[in-house]
Amino acid sequence: MSEVEQQQRVNPAFDLLDEDKRRAVLRPRQYTLPYMLRFISSPVLKSRRIVLAGLGYAVSSGLLPVLASFIVYYLTMILQSPAGDLETLLLYAGGYAVLFIILSVLATNLLNRNYNFFMELRIGYMNQALRRYMLMDLGLFENSAFLDEIGKWSWALSSNNAGLEGTWHKLFELGGTAVSVLLLGLLLSWQSPVIMLAGIAFVIVYYFIQANIARYKYERREEQVRLARRLGRLSDLAADFRYGKDMRLFRIYGLFRSAFDSLTVSFEKFLRLFHAREFQLSFAGSLSLLLIDVVSFFILSSNLVAGAITLPQFLMLITAVTLFGQQMLVLAEGFAYVKRDMLYFADTMSFLQADLRTSGGSGQINIGDGIEIEFEQVSFSYPGADQQVLTDLNLKIGKGEKVALVGVNGAGKTTLVKLLTGLYQPTQGRILFNGTDISTVPQQELFPLFSVVFQECEPLALTVAEIVAGTDEGIDRERVVAALKAAGLWDKVSTFPQGIDQPLLKYVTDEGKILSGGENQKLAIARALYRKDSRVMVLDEPTASLDALAETKIYQDLERILAGRTAFFISHRLASTRFCDRIALLDGGRIKEQGTHEELMALGGLYREMFTAQSKYYREREQNSKQRSEQNSERRAERNGKRLAEQLPNGELGR
Ligand code: ADP
C-alpha cells in the first residue's frame, strides 16, 4: 500500500476542543425514558431468579396495606356485633398479626437478598466505564471543558442507593407499591371512582412537578460538576502524601483554604437555588394530596350519613384512603426518582457509547533488523495552547543508534518523546519509522515497539512483579528478577518478605512497601527492560533521582541493555550522555546543534556553554569536597594525635 493511501490515525484530543464536535461525540442522541428503561431492564429480566423474586415481593408487600384496611373492618364488626366476644376478636387480631409478620418477612427477605445482584451489575458497568477512561486519548486530559463534560458519567454508577443501582432497587420496590395502589384503588372505587381517578391525577401531577425539579437541577449539573471536580481535586491534593512536605514547609495550606472557601461558597449558592425550587414545587404536591383526602372524607362521610355504608365499612374505607394517599405518594415519588436518575444515567450511557480512543490507522512498519527514526519538519502545540513547543524540527536517528537529546528546561524534550511514542500527533510534519509515517499506524501496534522510562515514575499500588511485567497474567518471573537485577533494584526487592510478589504503596494494603524516588526510578527502568521485544528505548531523565553510584552502574549496563535497540536518551547531566553515539541539542523548538561531544564543544554554541557551566559546577563541587575532605582528614589526624598522646606516657609520641 503506498503511503498516500494509508489512513491516518485519529486522535480525538484536537477535534474535541470544538464544543459542537464535543457534544456530537458525547451526546450522539437523546435517550428517551422508555429506551433507557428497556436498556436497564434487559440484564435484569434475563435472570429468572430476580424476576420471580420481584413478583413475590410485589405480591407480599403489596398486600400489606390492603390487609390493614380489612382488619379494621373485621375488628369493628366484631366489636359492634351483639355476639362479639373477646375470643373471636383475639383470633382475628392474632391471625392478622401472623399474616402480617409472614408477608413482611418474606418481602424484606426478597428485597434484601437480591441486593448483591444489582450491585454486581452496576460494578460491571463501572468496569466498562473505567476501562474507557483509561484507554481514551491522553490529550483529552488536557481539555478541562471535556473533563467537566464527562465528569458526569460517574455519578449514576457511584452509589448503591442512587443512580443506576438505586433505580433498579426502586423499580423492584415499586412493584409492591403498584399492587397496593391497585388493590386499594379498586376497593375505594366500589364507593366512588372519583377517589381512584383523583389518585391517578395526583400521581401524574406530582410526577411532573418532581420531573421539573429534576430537570432544573440536571441542567445546572455541568456547573455543579465543575465545582465538585475542583473541590474534589483540592481535597485529594490536601490528603496526598506526595505534597505533604511542600504543604507544611511552604505553608501552602493558607492558599488552599482560600480556594476551598470560595468554591464552597459557590457550591452552597447552588444548593440554595435547588432547595428553593424544590420547596415551592413540592408544596403544590402536598396541597393536592390533602385535597384528595378532604374530597374522599367528604364522599365517605356523606355515604355513611345516607346509610349507604355501615360504620365498619366507613372505617375500613377511611383507613384505605389514608393508606392509598401514602402509597400514591410513594408511587409518584418513585416514578419521579426513576425519571431523575435516568437523566443522569443518560450521561453514563453517552460516555459508555462514545469512542474516545485514538482509532484507525492502516500503516504498517516493516521492522526488519531495527528501526530508523526520522522527524520531518515536525511542529507541535498542545491542545488548546497558542504557543508552539516544536517548530519545523528535523532529526534522523539510524538503526541501533543511540542519541542523547539535551536542552534547557522546557525546551520540549518530553514533548518530543510523547510525539515519538504516538501519545500525541504532530500538528504539522511527520515522524517516520523505517519510512512509515507513524501517525498512520494504529496505536496498539505502535506502543509495543517502545520501552519508555519517564521522569515521573510513581508506581501503581500493585505487586513488584505486576508493575515490572505490566500485567497480572503470564508473568515471566525469571525475567522480572533479571530486569530488577539489571536495574539495580534486586538487592532491595530480595529483602521483601514476599519478594517480587510484595505489594507497593499502602493505599490497598498495610503490607505495601514504599520505595524512595531513586528506587521508583529503578523500578521504571526494570519495567522498560522487561519488554524484550521493544525496538526503541526511550529514557527520559532516567537517573534524575539516582545517587551517583547507582547512576554509574546503570550507565555501565546501558551499553549492554541497549544493544540492537534504537535509543533516545534525555538527560540534564551532559556528562552522562557519554555512552551515546550522538548528541542533539533542542532549543527554540528545533534541533540547533548535533554531533559528538567533541564536535559540539568545538562548535562553541549553547552545548559548550551548558557543558562548561555544568563541569565548572562539578569541578567546583569536586574541589570543595576535596578541600573539605583534606581539612577533615587533617582535623581527624589532629584529633587522633591528641587522643593517642593522651593515651601514651609522656614523651613517647616524640620517639
Ligand atoms: P522539557 O522536557 O524539555 O523540560 P517539556 O516537553 O516538558 O520540556 O515542555 C515543553 C513546553 O511545553 C513547556 O513550555 C511546557 O510548559 C509546555 N507543556 C508541557 N506539557 C504541556 C501540556 N500538557 N499542556 C500545555 N503545555 C505543556
| pTM exceeds cut of 0.75 | no
Residue 303 identity (one-letter amino acid) = N
The pLDDT of residue 205 is: 82
CB of 412 shorter than 6 A to ligand 1:
yes
- Place 647 in a pLDDT band, splitting at 50, 70 and 90: very low
Nearest CA, atom 24, ligand 1: 382
> For 318-327, 515-524, 638-647, which range has the lowest pLDDT when averaged over its residues?
638-647
Distance from the alpha carbon of residue 462 to the mean position of ligand 1, in angstroms = 29
Mean pLDDT of 222-247: 75
Q: Kindly report the CATH number that applies to the domain delimited by 374-459+515-603.
A: 3.40.50.300
Distance from the alpha carbon of residue 600 to the mean position of ligand 1, in angstroms = 25
Identify the burial level of 435 via C-beta atoms within 10 angstroms of its C-beta, where 0-12 means exposed, 13-18 middle and 19 or more buried: exposed
pLDDT 10s digits, 421-465: 888 889 999 999 999 999 999 888 888 888 888 776 777 788 899
Tell whether the model's pLDDT for residue 18 goes beyond 50: yes
**β-bridge mates for residue 570, sequence order:** 405, 540
The torsion of the CA quartet 217, 222, 225, 231, rounded to 10 degrees, works out to -110
Task: Spell out the domain ranges in the chain.
Answer: 29-232+265-353, 374-459+515-603, 607-647
The pLDDT of residue 635 is: 63
The pLDDT of residue 101 is: 95
CB of 47 shorter than 6 A to ligand 1:
no
CB of 389 shorter than 6 A to ligand 1:
yes
User: What does the DSSP 8-state code read for residue 306?
Assistant: T
CA–CA separation, 519 and 591 (whole Å): 32
Q: Which residue has the cell 426513576?
A: 338
146-150, 545-549, 599-603: range with highest mean pLDDT: 599-603
Name the more confident of 107 and 414: 107
- Place 638 in a pLDDT band, splitting at 50, 70 and 90: low
Q: Give the atom of ligand 1 at the shortest distance from the alpha carbon of 418.
A: 6
307 CB-near residues (< 8 Å, 6+ apart): none
> For 31-45, 54-68, 208-222, 407-421, which range has the lowest pLDDT when averaged over its residues?
208-222
Nearest CA, atom 10, ligand 1: 412
Name the more confident of 369 and 44: 44
Nearest CA, atom 21, ligand 1: 382
Tell me the HSE value of 344 on the side-chain side, using a 13 A CA sphere.
Answer: 29
User: Ligand 1 test: best mutation among 143, 382, 591, most atoms within 8 Å of CB?
Assistant: 382
CB of 411 shorter than 6 A to ligand 1:
yes
Residue 142 identity (one-letter amino acid) = E
Q: Average model confidence (pLDDT) for the chain?
A: 83
- Place 528 in a pLDDT band, splitting at 50, 70 and 90: confident
Residue of 343, 264, 266, 299 whose CA lies nearest to 190:
299
User: Ligand 1 test: best mutation among 141, 379, 413, 415, most atoms within 8 Å of CB?
Assistant: 415
The pLDDT of residue 445 is: 87
> For 208-212, 367-371, 548-552, 629-633, which range has the lowest pLDDT when averaged over its residues?
629-633
Nearest CA, atom 19, ligand 1: 415
CB of 408 shorter than 6 A to ligand 1:
no
Mean pLDDT of 91-107: 93
Tell whether the model's pLDDT for residue 257 goes beyond 50: yes
Tell whether the model's pLDDT for residue 71 goes beyond 50: yes
The pLDDT of residue 395 is: 93
Q: Could you confirm whether domain 29-232+265-353 is CATH 1.10.580.10?
A: no
The pLDDT of residue 623 is: 61
